[in-house]
Structure 1
Amino acid sequence: MNNSLLMLGTDKSTTWIVYNDLVSRFGPFPILIEDGVSKRNLIKLRMKRIGVMPVVSQLAFVALIRPVLRLMSAKRLNYLSRLHGLESTPPVSDFIHRVSSVNGDECRVLLQKYRPEVVVVNGTRIIGKKTLGSVKTTFINTHQGITPRYRGAHGAYWALAENRRTECGVTVHLVDAGIDTGNIITQVPIEPGPEDNFITYPLLQTAAALEHVANAVKAVWKKQVKSHPITDDGLVWYHPGFFQYIRGALRGVW
């Protein structure tokens, strides 16, 4: 087992794609899978941040539009997975640990047990200072957007919706206690085709990031990692609202 590398993630396809790719490169290593934040708590928190009506509109998008897009995108997702050799099936492994939260004591105990040189993060809640400071290690995150402008969620979709195609991509960055505010290691553009949409963008971003995540891991091991700070705070994005998405679709942004 490779004890110099560890991953923090959630039980979703992009986490397993990144994990399986890193295992193929570096051999088996531990991964801590956290339970998802409860939807009720997530909705309450978001309402406090951006208001009730915007969240209601986002929920309408999630309930009414996203399932249709997912159904329409099934063949495209399969094609992209085959094209890029993406494996999203969780492996059978003794190195998979379940934790309630990356900010919980059980997570910190496991981090201190393994003491990895590098922790790769994918899809978790914001990691607090207590967890980040519990071990002397470098935390690296794959963010599905070009920071700082597209922090938060669905950065590729919002870049296209704002007609900023050059900022449609993925960021590999160091992790701090902010929302996608860590120093940037590298940023990689993607070029969605006319058959891509809100559902397929994350897979394109994940595929584009894999080699760069592996290179960042090796750079940390060699103590040669280079990064630069973001230039401003940018914006934090969420799901599009129901009518926001409809307006974008009418302009060809799916």
Structure 2
Amino acid sequence: MNEGTLERQQTAGAPPAPAATGQRVVVLTQGGPNPEILINALKRHFPDLVVIEERPESKRLILRRKARRTGWPKALGQLATMAVSKFGKPLARRRADEIIRQYHVDPRPDPSILRIRIDSANGPKFRQLLSELAPAVLFLVSCRILKPATLRAIRCPVLNFHAGINPAYRGQHGGYWARVMDDEENFGATVHLVDAGVDTGDVLYQVRVTPSRKDSMHTYPLLLTAAGTGIAVRGVGAALSGKLRRQKTTKQRSRQWTHPTIWRWFWIGISRGIW
């Protein structure tokens, strides 16, 4: 198995031409190195780009929401995995640097990009900003789910970057779960239209890659983001040119995934070597 090499791309035709002057792209995100990779890639192709950063939800609120859905034991187990994953990222720094060099991407914020900070994308300020900015396309990456009322107020195509292959690996940690399910053929990322569901909108582009033996939950999202810059550019270009085409996906069962609990994560890692 090749280590971290780009193996298969499901795209159609050549990349769309860059946007004409005045065709503004707005990116909605909660920030972080992985979203910055996509922001920088989009900025190179679409100079009239603005970033709206929303404040992340508190861990307490996220925990309570998970507990209502799955119960407190599972919610606390998932929170423990999130904590361990966060503290384990420095241990994967060398592999992360390899991915950045291999794909020639930049995770550093570009100070020349206009950035506007808000509390929530589902609040009135966000709708007001979109009215003032009048984007031709809204691109989402690492942000909260937009409520139906918010989506109805948006007057342009809304695209999302998802680090997983839809519809089989919607939700969280798509790359990790593809490996756990012995389905590395579907270790990849998706750019899709946004609807009221969780990663349920029509698929536009997908890219599949082969993870390295050195990859883990700490680097899967970075690998998929770095490999996915091309489909992000293609998706936005198609939206700006009015040539969005829904792609036919394989007949996969649609499933939404969440964080593994700490005990399941350790068991899979020890017994199968998938971390």
Q: Does 1:200 align with 2:219?
A: yes
3-state DSSP of counterpart to 1:240: coil
Q: In the alignment, which residue of structure 2 is the partner of 1:83?
A: 102
3-state DSSP of counterpart to 1:47: helix
Q: AA paired with 2:234?
A: N
Gaps of 5+ in 2: 1-20
Q: In the alignment, which residue of structure 2 is the partner of 1:125?
A: 144
3-state DSSP of counterpart to 1:211: helix
Identity %: 30
Distance in 1 between residues matched to 2:137 and 2:82, nearest whole Å: 35
The correspondence of residues 33-72 of structure 1 with structure 2, limited to 5 A, is 33-63=53-83, 65-67=84-86, 69-72=88-91
Q: CA separation of 1:68/1:130 partners in 2, compared to 1, >3 Å: closer, same or farther?
A: closer
Q: In the alignment, which residue of structure 1 is the partner of 2:15?
A: none
In the TM superposition, residue 110 of structure 1 has moved relative to its aligned partner by 0.7
Distance in 2 between residues matched to 1:223 and 1:27, nearest whole Å: 18
1:3–1:114: 8 Å Cα contact kept in structure 2? no
Distance in 2 between residues matched to 1:94 and 1:148, nearest whole Å: 33
**TM-score with structure 2 setting the length:** 0.87
In the TM superposition, residue 59 of structure 1 has moved relative to its aligned partner by 2.1
Identify which of 44, 58, 62 aligns with 1:24: 44
Comparing 156-165 and 53-62, the one that deviates more: 53-62
1:219–1:225: 8 Å Cα contact kept in structure 2? yes
What number of residue pairs does the alignment pair up?
Answer: 253
Q: Does 1:243 align with 2:248?
A: no
2:137–2:157: 8 Å Cα contact kept in structure 1? yes
Distance in 2 between residues matched to 1:4 and 1:60, nearest whole Å: 40
Q: In the alignment, which residue of structure 1 is the partner of 2:232?
A: 213
Q: Does 1:253 align with 2:266?
A: no
Comparing 124-133 and 154-163, the one that deviates more: 124-133
Q: In the alignment, which residue of structure 1 is the partner of 2:3?
A: none
In the TM superposition, residue 243 of structure 1 has moved relative to its aligned partner by 1.5
Identify which of 233, 245, 251 aligns with 1:226: 245
**TM-score with structure 1 setting the length:** 0.93
Distance in 2 between residues matched to 1:202 and 1:227, nearest whole Å: 24
Q: Does 1:149 align with 2:168?
A: yes
Q: AA paired with 2:175?
A: A
In the TM superposition, residue 233 of structure 1 has moved relative to its aligned partner by 7.0
What are the superposed Cα offsets for residues 83-135 of structure 1, whole Å, 9 maximum, x if unpaired? 21221121223610001111111111111111111111001100112222223
Q: CA separation of 1:40/1:224 partners in 2, compared to 1, >3 Å: closer, same or farther?
A: same
3-state DSSP of counterpart to 2:228: helix
In the TM superposition, residue 7 of structure 1 has moved relative to its aligned partner by 0.8
3-state DSSP of counterpart to 2:212: coil
3-state DSSP of counterpart to 1:30: strand
Distance in 1 between residues matched to 2:163 and 2:156, nearest whole Å: 23
Q: AA paired with 2:77?
A: S
3-state DSSP of counterpart to 1:112: helix
Q: AA paired with 1:249?
A: G
Q: In the alignment, which residue of structure 2 is the partner of 1:5?
A: 25
Provide runs of 4+ in structure 1 moved above 6 Å: 229-233
Q: In the alignment, which residue of structure 1 is the partner of 2:9?
A: none
Q: CA separation of 1:205/1:146 partners in 2, compared to 1, >3 Å: closer, same or farther?
A: same
Identify which of 101, 111, 117 aligns with 2:130: 111
2:205–2:247: 8 Å Cα contact kept in structure 1? no
Task: Report the RMSD for the aligned CA atoms in angstroms.
Answer: 1.8
3-state DSSP of counterpart to 2:49: coil
Distance in 1 between residues matched to 2:113 and 2:183, nearest whole Å: 44
